[in-house]
Amino acid sequence: MRISRIFLIFGTASLCVASAVPRSSKPHSSFKRSDNATNPMFQLSTDADFNFEILRVLSMAPYEGADIGEVLVAAKEIEPGDFESFYNGFNNLALRAEKIARAIDPRRHPVSARNALFKLSNYYRSADFFLHGNWSDPRINALWEKQLSAFNDAMALMTVPGERITIHAKDGGFDIPAIFFGTGLPGRRPTLIACNGYDGSQEEMYHVIGQAALQRGMNFIAYEGPGQPTVRREQNLGFIPEWEKVVSPVIDYALERPEVDGDAIALMGFSFGGYLVPRAAAFDHRAAAIMAVDGIYDFGQSILKHLPEELQQIFSSGDAEKFNAILSKVIADPTTVTSFRWGVQQGSWALKAKTPFEFMTKAQAYNLTGLTDKITTPVFVGDAQLDGFFLGQGKELADHIGGMTTYHQFEAIDGAGEHCAIGATVYQNQVLLDWFEDIIHQPKNCIRP
Ligand SMILES: *[C@@H]1O[C@H](CO)[C@@H](O)[C@H](O)[C@H]1NC(C)=O
Ligand SMILES: *[C@@H]1O[C@H](CO)[C@@H](O)[C@H](O)[C@H]1NC(C)=O
Ligand SMILES: *[C@@H]1O[C@H](CO)[C@@H](O)[C@H](O)[C@H]1NC(C)=O
């Protein structure tokens, strides 16, 4: 098969990101986007994936994670398709932001120091984002140390400081790093327990939804399991499909805290967490509500569909050598669409797969076939109108879970059409947390079975 043809097809995943549905379309009638419409949002890069990742950092601005102007300065250094330029843009920003943050005396100006340190941590994380193609790149750990250090210093300056904890997962034999953020309010409170996905950290979750939960008087617990940034680095563990082995010990821990109302726990999974959390909820029924943002029913099939038909056939035939030979060339080529190159590199790192074939094989285990019937909790399934990674998966998950699902499609015209409503954090938190508050405030017998 000619490689140029593959580029063209791989290109579609990303081109989708740059297209949209016209204003007149309504959430439930317009699930299938038409590829010819234009995206109503201004683009920050001609590289759709870089646009997405820059927007992701900007998205944290309402919750202490970024300042818009400095992110746009970093964005100007970033060249389409050039992963090193993404590192340079954010690393240079972080070095400037570090000077500013560390010059503040936190005893005299604790709020200013905290603001500056939270942003700094986010910028170091962003500098690391596209570097996982080479597992021995020393920057992978060096940048992480810096992001952790800035985040810890920021947390210590919160009105109620975040508390780092380690929870041992007996069934699995690994440690779960987590952070408990208490409201400081009296009595037992509703509690949101959240994880990130394929590439994000527990620290990012504080800015994604944690601070929004605290503002509403809910405790917040963020955690990471195997395959996620700190566990992958410190324990050398790749993802496992059995996410209940991660979630159940976190719920056990939460129930021991005097701040937590055990009848008002929500589990939230962000991005690839939209598979992980429903998977866990099929085995652990103690949460009052779960949120899959956005929902994923079959991760393996959904990424396989990004490949051209002929390559899918080579994969199905089990010809690993041929599959790897083609994919290695495609990934090494800087003109291949960024989301595809990055998706395979990041997935291989996070699933601990040495080759593209091994990655694709391992990925197939991440599906909810036969498990959705076991979910007994009300479920919120988010979906994004222009999802560039998992288009169609949210609807599929919602349809499989059926009656207990609240399906919500976030729309492009509201600035919320990208995967995980990136760019619309305030709006997304309004929708998600209002839904959770309504669930826990209604009498138990009114909740649908
Ligand atoms: C856009 O796509 C839709 C659905 O495929 C089609 O009906 C319509 O004619 C197209 N519009 C243009 C301007 O190409
Ligand atoms: C990966 O990074 C290491 C350390 O910087 C370097 O020595 C090695 O050449 C890199 N490998 C590739 C394939 O770029
Ligand atoms: C779904 O995952 C299971 C293992 O978790 C695997 O046995 C099965 O083949 C997968 N199904 C599909 C359709 O890939």
* Domain boundaries defined on the chain: 3-30+302-363, 31-157, 160-298+366-449
Nearest one of 307, 325, 339 to 316, comparing CA atoms: 307
Residue 172's region, left for phi above 0, alpha for psi from -120 to 50, else beta, is left
CA 31 to ligand 1 center in whole angstroms: 15
Half-sphere exposure of 204 (CA within 13 A, CB side): 28
Catalytic option among 19, 25, 271, 302: 271
Q: With the CA atoms of 118, 120, 121 and 125 taken in that order, what torsion angle do they form, in degrees rounded to the nearest 10?
A: 140
Nearest one of 43, 67, 199, 54 to 133, comparing CA atoms: 199
Alpha helices, H only, 156-282: 202-205, 211-215, 229-234, 244-256, 273-281
Cis peptide before 294 (omega within 30 of 0): yes
What sign results for the dihedral spanned by CA atoms 203, 207, 208, 209?
positive
In sequence order, what DSSP letters do the residues of 346-398 get, joined into one string? HHHHHTT-SSHHHHHHHHTT-B-TTTGGG--S-EEEEEETT-SSSTTHHHHHH
Q: Is 136 in the pocket of ligand 2 (CB under 6 A)?
A: yes
Ligand 2 nearest-atom number relative to CA 135: 1
Q: Is 134 in the pocket of ligand 2 (CB under 6 A)?
A: yes
Q: Is 255 in the pocket of ligand 3 (CB under 6 A)?
A: no
pLDDT tens-digit profile, the chain (449 residues): 344 334 333 433 332 222 222 223 233 222 233 343 578 999 999 999 999 999 999 999 999 999 999 999 999 999 999 999 999 999 999 999 999 999 999 999 999 999 999 999 999 999 999 999 999 999 999 999 999 999 999 999 999 999 999 999 999 999 999 999 999 999 999 999 999 999 999 999 999 999 999 999 999 999 999 999 999 999 999 999 999 999 999 999 999 999 999 999 999 999 999 999 999 999 999 999 999 999 999 999 999 998 999 999 999 999 999 999 999 999 999 889 999 999 999 999 999 999 999 999 999 999 999 999 999 999 999 999 999 889 999 999 999 999 889 999 999 999 999 999 999 999 999 999 999 999 999 765 545 44
Q: Is 361 in the pocket of ligand 3 (CB under 6 A)?
A: no
Predicted pLDDT of residue 5: 39
Ligand 3 nearest-atom number relative to CA 301: 14
Which of 16, 19, 32, 34 most suits a substitution to test ligand 1, by most atoms within 8 Å of the C-beta?
34
- Looking at residue 16, the DSSP 8-state letter turns out to be H
The protein residue whose alpha carbon is closest to atom 10 in ligand 3 is 365
Q: Is 141 in the pocket of ligand 2 (CB under 6 A)?
A: no
The protein residue whose alpha carbon is closest to atom 5 in ligand 2 is 137
Q: Is 0.75 topped by the overall pTM?
A: yes
The hierarchical CATH code for the domain 160-298+366-449 is 3.40.50.1820
- Return the ligand number nearest the Cα of 32: 1
Find where tokens 């609240």 sit.
406
Predicted pLDDT of residue 404: 85
Ligand 3 nearest-atom number relative to CA 367: 1
CA 370 to ligand 3 center in whole angstroms: 10
Predicted pLDDT of residue 240: 98
What sign results for the dihedral spanned by CA atoms 193, 195, 200, 201?
positive
Q: Do residues 423 and 416 touch, judged by C-beta distance below 8 A?
A: yes
The protein residue whose alpha carbon is closest to atom 12 in ligand 2 is 134
Backbone angles phi, psi at 367, to 5 degrees: -140, 165
Helix (H/G/I), strand (E/B), else coil: 174:
strand
- Return the ligand number nearest the Cα of 84: 2
Ligand 2 nearest-atom number relative to CA 134: 1
The hierarchical CATH code for the domain 31-157 is 1.20.1440
Q: Is 137 in the pocket of ligand 2 (CB under 6 A)?
A: yes
Predicted pLDDT of residue 24: 31
The protein residue whose alpha carbon is closest to atom 12 in ligand 3 is 364
What's the token pair of residue 191?
């509690």
Predicted pLDDT of residue 442: 75
Tell me how far apart the alpha carbons of residues 100 and 77 are, in angstroms, rounded to a whole number: 20
- Return the ligand number nearest the Cα of 360: 3
Q: Is 38 in the pocket of ligand 1 (CB under 6 A)?
A: no
271 is catalytic: yes
